[in-house]
A and B are shown apart, each in its own frame.
Chain A
Amino acid sequence: MRRSNEPIAWSLFGAGGMLLAFVGPGLIVVTGLLLGVLLADQPASVYESLLRWLSHPLGKLLMLSVVALSLYHTCHRLYHATHDLHLRAPNALMLVLFYGGATVLSGITAVVLWSIGA
C-alpha cells in the first residue's frame, strides 16, 4: 500500500485549528480594533513597534507560525469543502492548488519576514 500524505496534512490542519482556536479571535481584535481604530492616530509608533518585533528572530518565527498554520488549516478545510460541494476537478490539480497554495504563500511570507530589519 502506498504511504499516504494525509497524516502530514492533518497534523498541519490540526495544529492550525488549535492555534486559531486559542489566539484567532484575539488576533482579529488586535488588527481590527487596536491597529484599525484605537491606535489609528499614531501610525508611526505602531510601525516602529511592529518593525522592532518583526526584526527579532523570535517575532519572525511566531508570525510565520501563525500565517503558515492558518493557511494549512484553512486550505485543508477548503479542499475538503470542494468535495462536499461536488465541485469536480482532477484530485492532483486540487491538491496542488490548495496545499501547494498554502506552501507557496507560507514561503513568500518567510522570505518577506526574512527581509525585515536585515
Chain B
Amino acid sequence: MAEPYVKRQPAGWWLKNPAYRRYMLREATALPLFAYTLLLITGVYRLSQGEEAFTQWLVMLRSPWCVTLHVVALAAALLHAWTWLQLVPKILVVHTNRLRVSGTLIKRVHQLGALLGSVGLVVLAWLFLAQGGS
C-alpha cells in the first residue's frame, strides 16, 4: 500500500502572509520580555548580596546592552499589551439574559486599566524611591 501523501509545511510558512508575520511578531515579544525578567532576577539577587553589589547592578543598567534591552523590551511590552487587550473581548464575553456588555466597552475598560496600571506604577515607584522609601 502506498504511503499517504503528507504535504510538508515549509519552516518559513509565516513569512509571506502579513497576518502570519504579525502573529509571529506578537509571539516574539516573549523573547525580550523573558530577557528583561532575567535582568530583574539578577537585580533581586544583587540586592540580596548587599549595597555594593546592588550599586554595581545599578551601574550596569546604564551599559549599552541594558539600555538596548530596555528599549526593545519596552516596545515589546507595549505591543504585547496592545495585542493582548485586543483579545480580551474574545475571551471575556458578558452576554446573559440580564446583562449584556459590548466587547468594545470591555476592551476599552481594560485598556484604560492598563494605562492607569503602568502610569500608576511609575508614579508610585517615583514617590517611593525619591523619598528614600518612606
Contacts and interface: CB of A to CB of B under 8 A. Distances in A.
Interface of A: 17-18, 20-32, 34-37, 39-40, 43-54, 63, 66-67, 70-71, 73-78, 80-81, 84-86, 105, 108-109, 112-113, 115-116
Given A45-B132, A112-B48, A115-B48, A28 B77 contact: yes
A109 B47 CA distance: 12
A24 B126 contact: no
Given A31-B40, A34-B122, A78 B34 contact: yes
User: Would you call the interface of chain A mostly helix, strand, loop, or mixed?
Assistant: helix
Contacts, number: 171
Residue from the set B43, B74, B119, B125 with the largest chain A CB neighbour count within 10 Å: B125
Interface in B1-60: 9, 11, 14, 24, 27-31, 33-34, 36-41, 43-45, 47-48, 51, 54-55, 58-59
B28 A81 contact: yes
B122 A26 contact: yes
B99 interface: no
